[in-house]
Amino acid sequence: MLSIAPNPGLPLLAAGLLMLALPAMARAPVLALGALGSLVMLFAPDFGASQAMEQLGVVIVVRFDALAQLIGFSLAVTALVAALGAPQPRSRGEDAALGLHLGAAATAVFAGDLVSLLAATELSALAGGWLILAAGGRTALAAGARYLMWQAPAAIALLAGCAFLLAHNNSSEFGMASLSSLGGLLLVTGFAIRIGAPLAHPWLRDAAAAVSPGAMTAMALTGPLLGLYALTRAFAGEPLLLALGLGMIGLGAVYAFAESDLRRAFGGLVTLQVGACLAAAGAPEGLGVGAAALLAFTATVGSLALGAALAVGVSVAGTADARRMPALAARLPLSAAAAVIGAASIGAAPVLAGGVGLGLASGAIAAAGGVVGAFLGPIAAALSALAAARVAGAAFFTPAAMAAKGPGVGGGGVLIALLLSVFLCIAIGVAPGWLAALAPNPLATRLAWIDLIDLALAAAAALSVLGLACAIRVTALRGVGAPLDVDDLYRGPLFALLRWLAALFLRLFSTLRALGEAGLAVLQRGFIDLARFADRPYRPAGPGLAGALAASLLLIFLVISLKP
């Protein structure tokens, strides 16, 4: 009898497969039940438990430690909100892809071996491409193609990295890796693409803008959460994580402010938050692991509240362009309140979830960056507050007098999703003790940093209030349309350079081939002439035959006469 490792991602995977056979009215409840099943399996084992069994000749390890449980908790809550919070019914393909995307990511988070980690990660990436393409339309087709083009080199790097690590360590266990090894470098390259690190970040905003509004938040969060978990697991304490995180903070802030498409701005906001988590994970001696895990969960909760409200606003307005968004706060007061609470939580406002996570992350970034890091934490918190405030303000508090043109919102699941995300934002901020107890090294994250954390919290809270006020009262931050990005370099000058080099190579190749063919023709003619010269035709009659016979007889006579 074949036994199955009890991975908490399996209920979501099963729900995703069931979406292909269920009617429309049953798909959202079944997907929500799959998320609840993952939550139950997530907290059933004891902390630190690890189960291993052999399946098809491969040792499959399921690991239940605090880091995996917090990231898995984030993915399960994301799945629950995504299942219930779709403003409009999704297609069968979108529901199936959404369940597989989230379920495979949760399965990878609890994978303790490289084989199952790689398989689940690639399944999640393929399902993400399916989720984009299932939205339909030319925009989704183009975004899906770009997404898969970015995921392909990531998959190759991860496959090669896992192979090198298996050969080097003679073990399939997934744990700490070294950047001095080729396997470690390939692994960090693959997962850096998956989180949207600098130079590989355009796909995240494209994907968030291409999927349907009900899948936007899940699409923006799932891949980065999985990549963050893997990098924290394998490279915690590495200075490279701090550098990547700071780059993502800067890029995310720029695009959260500059994008006119609020879905793309939301993708930039997610990049900013994941960058803060990654920078915290670069803290030495395990200090950043707990801070990164806590911040990942609290940032997820705030993003779910803001993203669910934004999805409702985009569906009602019929557009995501901040320059054409109508004033929706009066028409959608609950969604506007959820957006404000989510933005305030992202901005580390007191008594909200983000205040706990960003406070701990500020201390961890300070530990990783020394004197410079002491200022980077508050700066990251301030940028998060202002960027989140800009997205919420542009979506619901613009003074434009335009009329809404969207199809509106249907179903009571949206209300449940909004209330759930808002409840988590408030409950964690008011009573964070239970969440801190789940984090790795909960006491070490506070050790010797209490004063700095309080300072960071105060600065972030003040800037959060200021940013929200500015976003509500001042609506000049409508974006600049589609700002330039590194993707424009790839598709513009760099593509033109590669095309010119390819044309030059083809011309050079054609010239060399012509010269080679001419040389071969000369050699061929020479060999033919040589063969004709050496191969004289035999003629059986004529004077030549008599002369040849006479010469032969004379030669034989001379040889016999001269023989002693």
Condensed to tens digits (0 to 9), the pLDDT of residues 25-51 reads 888 889 999 999 988 888 776 544 455
* pLDDT given at position 231: 92
Q: Tokens 């509106």 — which residue?
A: 408
* pLDDT given at position 446: 47
Rounded CA separation 537/554 (Å): 25
Rounded CA separation 63/51 (Å): 7
pLDDT at 465 over 80: no
* pLDDT given at position 1: 39
Q: What is the mean pLDDT of residues 214-243?
A: 89
Check: CB of residue 447 under 8 Å from CB of residue 73.
Answer: no
Based on DSSP, count helices (H) and strands (E) in the chain, helices before strands: 20, 2
pLDDT at 319 over 50: yes
Rounded CA separation 168/165 (Å): 5
Condensed to tens digits (0 to 9), the pLDDT of residues 188-200 reads 999 999 998 888 8
Where residue 549 falls among pLDDT bands split at 50, 70, 90?
low
* pLDDT given at position 553: 73
Q: Of 341, 468, 347, 463, whose CA–CA distance to 397 is shortest?
A: 468
Check: CB of residue 64 under 8 Å from CB of residue 110.
Answer: yes
Provide the mean pLDDT of the chain.
Answer: 78
Q: What is the mean pLDDT of residues 248-258?
A: 87
Check: CB of residue 303 under 8 Å from CB of residue 217.
Answer: yes
* pLDDT given at position 130: 92
Condensed to tens digits (0 to 9), the pLDDT of residues 382-412 reads 788 888 888 888 888 876 555 555 555 556 6
Number of other residues whose CB lies within 10 A of the CB of residue 408? 11
Angle of helix 114-134 relative to helix 92-109, nearest 10 degrees, comes to 160
* pLDDT given at position 452: 46
pLDDT at 475 over 50: no
**By three-state DSSP, how is residue 37 classified?**
helix
pLDDT at 477 over 70: no
